[in-house]
Amino acid sequence: MRVLLLGGGGREHALALGLAGDPSVEQLIAAPGNPGIASLASLQGVDPCDPAAVAALAVETGVDLVVIGPEAPLVAGVADAVRAKGIPAFGPSAEAARLEGSKTFAKDVMTAAGVPTARAYTCTDAESTARALDEFGAPYVVKNDGLAAGKGVVVTDDRAAALRHAEECGRVVVEEYLAGPEVSLFVVTDGEAAVPLLPAQDFKRVGDGDTGPNTGGMGAYAPLPWAPPGLVDEVMRDVVHPTLAEMARRGTPFAGLLYVGLAITADGPRVIEFNARFGDPETQVVLALLETPLAGLLHAAATGTLAGHPPLRWRDGAAVTVVVAAEGYPAAPRSGDVITGAEGPGVIHAGTRRADDGALLSSGGRVLCATATGTDLAAARDAAYALVAGVELAGSHHRTDIAAAAVEGRITIPG
Ligand code: AMP
């Protein structure tokens, strides 16, 4: 199989590792890729958000599958353009990607499908925002209604800050606060059949102990030793299948990767958000544990044949990834610093580029994801931090408590 992978972050490097490791993949092409992906794929300088350019590249290179990593190409209609050429694409149509692209649309689908989620109001002016904030009380949750690369959400006890964020965004969703540990569940689907991957947990806040501003994600681990038994079955029954049925009923079936972000509350799992693609950095840990060949699985989803796909096989043990971020991330990340010690296996490239002289430079907020597996969570965590210790990047920072609460048995479900 020949595969074209779109994107150039840590998620795509993890996808590239999975795709390149699938014996059925004879050629992997990536656009635009990154220096980590360059050792696994041939890179093409095509804009992944340009539907016509991607479709032309897919035809020209004769690929059997296009795997779309980030959300922006999905919302731009890249999957539609590729499918219009008769080439299977892993990723939803632009219409179906609105599950991620618009929080209001997602709430609408959840309500119609009876999916358990936070109560919410869409607000476009200060008066209705204030009313919604006061109805739910603190902590206040205010979400930008559009795509914001994981940074459009403010959770705060400060009412004035909540109002300010709403004013800056224009159109927001104000919702009730959901108390409980969070779970990211990835579901591969062809629109009807759906296969869950291992649940994972990510770390959104920049600082240890969940302090500081939200980020795209500072680390992740899988599986979740504290997850209630039956959690995945319950989420498939109460969230995933009703959502897929509602999307199909609307004439916009969702095929690709449905990312279900959940809070495990005293009343059971509640959806915090849907995304229309693999999460970053959870992909790095989930795929590190997947033994089933990745390209075959994604091809089955892209061709409507997932029901006939064999059950997934997983490696024993656990995986942990720790994000090494640039100085100033998330507010104002500095780029262009030299990175050393990033050559070893497990160091996934997220925001890097090659200088003309071959040096590896930082080129984004999240620069590297130190990713390791182990016989258990503690061993995986220690191995990931050993990789972090080998990386040198001036001014960089990382969280020191990724997976710590799970290793120490400190995660509890309210109630
Ligand atoms: P989102 O972009 O919707 O995933 O939100 C980013 C982060 O904000 C989530 O991972 C949660 O940590 C937090 N968050 C969002 N919505 C809620 C909510 N209703 N209650 C509690 N925390 C939330």
pLDDT in tens, 124-176: 999 999 999 999 999 999 999 876 655 588 999 999 999 999 999 999 999 99
Residue 107 CB less than 6 A away from ligand 1: no
Atom of ligand 1 nearest to the CA of 143: 3
Per-chain mean pLDDT for the chain: 96
pLDDT confidence tier of residue 227, bands split at 50, 70 and 90: very high
149 alpha carbon to ligand 1 midpoint, in Å? 13
Residue nearest to atom 15 of ligand 1 (CA): 272
Residue 204 CB less than 6 A away from ligand 1: yes
The pLDDT, as a whole number, for residue 103 is 86
Q: CB of 65 within 8 A of CB of 255?
A: no
Kindly report, residue by residue over 82-105, the tens digit of the pLDDT. 999 999 999 999 999 999 988 889
Q: Comparing C-alpha atoms, which of 278, 280, 261 is closest to residue 182?
A: 261
Enclosing H/E stretch for 411: none
Percent of the chain with pLDDT over 70: 99
Q: Comparing C-alpha atoms, which of 204, 200, 220 is closest to residue 212?
A: 204
Q: Report H helices in 322-407.
A: 377-389, 404-407
d(CA 350, CA 353) in angstroms, rounded, equals: 10
Predicted TM-score (pTM) of the model is 0.96
The pLDDT, as a whole number, for residue 280 is 98
The pLDDT, as a whole number, for residue 151 is 55
Collapsing DSSP states into helix, strand and coil, what is residue 284? helix
The pLDDT, as a whole number, for residue 148 is 62
User: What integer is the mean pLDDT of 254-275?
Assistant: 97
pLDDT at 410 over 80: yes
Residue 118 CB less than 6 A away from ligand 1: yes
pLDDT confidence tier of residue 341, bands split at 50, 70 and 90: very high
Kindly report, residue by residue over 55-78, the tens digit of the pLDDT. 999 999 999 999 999 999 999 999
The pLDDT, as a whole number, for residue 399 is 98
49 alpha carbon to ligand 1 midpoint, in Å? 27
Collapsing DSSP states into helix, strand and coil, what is residue 124? coil
pLDDT confidence tier of residue 213, bands split at 50, 70 and 90: confident
Residue nearest to atom 6 of ligand 1 (CA): 153
Atom of ligand 1 nearest to the CA of 275: 4
User: What integer is the mean pLDDT of 402-412?
Assistant: 97
User: What integer is the mean pLDDT of 173-181?
Assistant: 96
The pLDDT, as a whole number, for residue 147 is 67
The pLDDT, as a whole number, for residue 256 is 98
Residue 174 CB less than 6 A away from ligand 1: no
* Neighbouring C-beta atoms of residue 317, cutoff 10 Å: 15
Kindly report, residue by residue over 185-197, the tens digit of the pLDDT. 999 999 999 999 9
Q: Comparing C-alpha atoms, which of 57, 60, 97 is closest to residue 77?
A: 97
Q: CB of 79 within 8 A of CB of 91?
A: yes
CB within 8 Å of 19: residues ≥ 6 apart: 3, 5, 25, 28, 40, 67, 294, 295, 298
Q: Which residues pair with 142 in a beta bridge?
A: 154, 174
Torsion of CA 403, 154, 231, 348, to 10 degrees: -40
272 alpha carbon to ligand 1 midpoint, in Å? 6
The pLDDT, as a whole number, for residue 344 is 87
